[in-house]
Amino acid sequence: MPRTAKHSQADSSKADLEKSALAILSQAPLLPADSEDSALSLLLKQYLKPQDVALVREAYRFAFAAHDGVVRKTGEPYITHPVSVACILADLHMDVPTILAALLHDVVEDTAITAQEIKEKFGAQVAELVDGVTKLDKIEFQSASQAQAENFRKMLLAMSQDVRVILVKLADRLHNMQTLTAMKPESRKRIAKETLEIYAPIANRLGLNLIYQELEDLSFKALYPMRYRVLTQVIKAARGNRKEVISKILESIQNKLKEAGIEAEVTGREKHLYSIYKKMAGKTNSFSQIYDIYGFRVVVKDLPTCYLTLGALHGLFKPIPGKFKDYIAIPKANGYQSLHTTLFGPFGTPIEVQIRSIDMHNVANAGVAAHWLYKSSDAELTALQQQTHQWLQRLLEIQTESVDSLEFLEHIKVDLFPDEVYVFTPKGNILALPRGSTAVDFAYAVHTDVGNSCVAVKINQELAPLRTELKNGDHVEIITAALSKPNAAWLNYVKTGKARSHIRHYLKTMQSEESTHIGERMLNQALRAMHVEPSAVKEKQWDKLIRDYSVKNKQEILTDIGLGKRQSVMVAHQLLAIDEKQSADATEGVVSKLFGRIFGKSNKKPLNTITIRGSEGMSVQFAACCRPIPGDPILGFINKDKGLIIHTHDCPAIRKFSLDPEKWLDVEWDSDSKRLFKVNLKLVAENKPGMLAMIAAIIAEAGSNIDNVSMEESDNSVYTGLNFTVQVRDRVHLAELMRALRKVPNVVRINRAKGNSTANGTQQVSQ
């Protein structure tokens, strides 16, 4: 028979939320779940109508029949799991569709029953909730991590449409964690790690404090059983040692509030195990140094009384400076509101006190589920629902910018950071961002367009770099420019998933567009080498090639050529469908020309070359080993996924690369290039004061800019080596700069450096 639990009918007051479903389910299972006296029935009768309870019983019988004969690893009938999940949600007073979805959440995944059957029997709403929780086991993925990431993606996107999906999933995960001991050790650790990284933070983000704490403690127990056991014993011993002190403090607080005429419920509060462990591990403290293991919670009738209570307590015990937090004026992102203050208690013991109203207490425990639990229309609950909706909308926004599931999951993990900083916009609005967020994160939090076009930032009225980390209370103003674009370097320091996904999406879009353009030019070059004008290729030839390659359109083929994923000569051959002899003749001609250019055997300029303007963007990169500039003879090397890499003809790194002629292209400079190019210079100069400043002044007078400078380590010699990376327009500009530097009396040698960054260049073009 299915697993159930006997228990007395709980009081329907709001204080009942403190009792978790685990306590109810841990008692001896004796009755079927559709019995009048079962745990589930008793929970449902507290807040549902008789006809709704009857519908739940029908769903139970349906699930029982579907899972009949199946046994869990614990040895219990499988039906005990969905019933336990339903009990956890019933304890939160969730609505009927959610309870039905809890009972049926594994039916589609584990049995022959389809989502359509559930829809016909229990309605579309229940079917959608079940589908949101169901895994994608029937689809093949390249790896287990990708499959898991896709499951998260599907679940979170379903949650963005209906938050009840994640409530069912969290209850499902909670019961699985409660029965985790039946799993193999490696499975226990994997599931616990996943719970700690994803599910517990989501529960925290939604304000489901009781579920969040239990998930963390259960994960801690599975990951570090020895540490869990030792810490449990130490806390139990400390609880007895501090019992008298805690009683005295509790009595003092109650008496003080009574004197002030404040009605309040005062209770002792103990930090949950994993929270204590994190504090010990994070600050390398011993257990004896953790003072706020035991604290006190004061629940009063309304918001104004919270501040009156704070004043009364500060009159009783002295507050510790810098240890006061007002989460009422500035709530946490999950809607949590309270006043936190740390006081010097008797015997010099620091004590933490949380002060909140009844409504704040409800939200602190149930979070977004408080909407169902209390059916309240209070402003606090409305604000929480709005915050949750905004977060879910951000999930959708990140999803549209993320290419694959693993990337989406990476962004979500970042956005689930519990620690936050609160900063002000120029209009005085407050934004909550993950700790460590920068000005770029702030810009994207304001609006995507602001992030894409930001160029500078003012923090507290002072200009600061965009990579500056924000602190609590900072006033932030973003300066934008119409022609500014996201920079790939931003990915090195942004924190939020929204910023990261938008930057990556922009860069990928730009790279795709640029690669399409360069790919078209490369294909045109290959066609002309075969004595065919690109305009002569007919649409039907393109249509056949698109079908043969199984791609969506012509643009995708051109992009692949530009990124080096397809060879332009091969595409040209297949496009024209010429015979083998013609192909060989044409290829031989192209190869001979290219090898002649590479090894200097021919000075004859090819008929078909790709013109480099220097403004192509990410699809054309200039090798760091030789840093080509206009005027240098150059060659193009096709690198898979990175596009076209430009080298000088005499680059020392060239001979180390693949000599596959299909990967080398003839390129030349556009005569009208106006951008600045980086070039490496090495100087040997007298080691004397002011020398570097003098050289820098000469470089500036020549109209050049210093991009980087380094000095060789001093060995007490009269002369020292200086390495500059400067920006010049072309070889003529470089020659003028070098002539100006040679005129400096203390400069004894100057030359253009090539090959000293070969490792860098090799990395750029290696296969």
DSSP 468-498: PBP-TT-BEEEEE-TT----GGGGGT--SHH
Could you give the dihedral angle defined by the CA atoms of residues 169, 170, 175 and 177, in that order, rounded to the nearest 10 degrees? Answer: 110
Residue 440 pLDDT class (50, 70, 90 cuts): very high
pLDDT of residue 27: 38
Helices of type H across 402-538: 405-415, 439-446, 448-452, 497-529
Distances (CA, A) of 28 to 23, 24, 57, 81, 121: 11, 10, 21, 15, 32
pLDDT of residue 407: 63
Task: Mean pLDDT check: name the lowest of 162-171, 311-320, 598-607.
Answer: 598-607
Helices of type H across 536-579: 539-549, 554-562, 568-576
Helix (H) or strand (E) holding 338: none
pLDDT of residue 365: 75
pLDDT of residue 44: 82
Structure tokens at 293: 């293991």
Residue 219 pLDDT class (50, 70, 90 cuts): very high
pLDDT at 712 > cutoff 50: yes
pLDDT of residue 762: 33
Q: What is the pTM of this model?
A: 0.58
List the catalytic residues: 109-110
Residue with the bigger pLDDT between 84 and 599: it is 84
Q: How many residues does the chain have?
A: 767
* pLDDT tens digit sequence for 100-137: 999 998 898 888 888 899 999 999 989 988 888 876 44
pLDDT of residue 36: 60
CB atoms within 10 A of CB 468: 17
Phi, psi of 156 (to 5 degrees): -70, -35
pLDDT of residue 529: 77
pLDDT at 281 > cutoff 90: no
Top-confidence range, 196-205, 259-268, 358-367, 747-756:
259-268
Residue 442 pLDDT class (50, 70, 90 cuts): very high
Residue 757 pLDDT class (50, 70, 90 cuts): very low
How much is the mean pLDDT over the chain?
A: 77
The DSSP code for 419 is: -
Average pLDDT over residues 195-211: 83
> Could you tell me whether strands 719-728 and 705-711 are parallel, antiparallel, or unpaired per DSSP bridges?
antiparallel
CB atoms within 10 A of CB 383: 14
Residue 391 pLDDT class (50, 70, 90 cuts): low
Helix (H) or strand (E) holding 320: strand 319-326
Average pLDDT over residues 390-396: 64
Question: How many Å apart are CA 58 and CA 60, to the nearest integer?
Answer: 5
pLDDT of residue 11: 38
Question: How many Å apart are CA 88 and CA 102, to the nearest integer?
Answer: 9
pLDDT at 650 > cutoff 50: yes
Please, which residues have CB within 8 angstroms of residue 321's CB and are 6 or more apart in sequence? none
Average pLDDT over residues 590-607: 48
Structure tokens at 505: 């999406």
pLDDT at 418 > cutoff 60: no
pLDDT at 428 > cutoff 60: yes
pLDDT at 387 > cutoff 60: yes
- Taken in order of first residue, the domains within the chain and their CATH numbers are 1-134 (1.10.3210.10), 144-223+389-412 (1.10.3210.10), 229-376 (3.30.460.10), 505-669 (no CATH), 677-765 (3.30.70.260)
Is residue 27 left, alpha or beta, with left meaning phi > 0 and alpha meaning psi from -120 to 50? Answer: beta
pLDDT at 589 > cutoff 90: no
Burial label for 367, CB within 10 Å (0-12, 13-18, 19+), is buried
Average pLDDT over residues 533-549: 82
512 and 559 Cβ atoms separated by less than 8 Å: yes
pLDDT at 143 > cutoff 60: no
* pLDDT tens digit sequence for 30-48: 357 666 667 777 778 888 8
Task: Mean pLDDT check: name the lowest of 184-193, 351-360, 530-539.
Answer: 530-539
* pLDDT tens digit sequence for 168-195: 989 999 999 998 888 888 889 989 988 8
Question: How many Å apart are CA 287 and CA 232, to the nearest integer?
Answer: 11
> Could you tell me whether strands 319-326 and 719-728 are parallel, antiparallel, or unpaired per DSSP bridges?
unpaired
Helix (H) or strand (E) holding 223: helix 209-223
* pLDDT tens digit sequence for 288-316: 556 556 688 999 999 999 999 999 999 99
The DSSP code for 367 is: G
Residue 95 pLDDT class (50, 70, 90 cuts): confident
pLDDT of residue 377: 47
Structure tokens at 408: 């989406």
Structure tokens at 211: 């579920």
Task: Mean pLDDT check: name the lowest of 82-91, 405-414, 697-706.
Answer: 405-414
Nearest to 88 by CA among 217, 216, 176, 195: 176
The DSSP code for 77 is: B
Residue 386 pLDDT class (50, 70, 90 cuts): low
Residue type, 170: L
Average pLDDT over residues 502-508: 81
Buried b / exposed e along 173-182 (16+ C-beta atoms within 10 A): bbbbbbebee
Task: Mean pLDDT check: name the lowest of 2-11, 388-397, 636-645.
Answer: 2-11
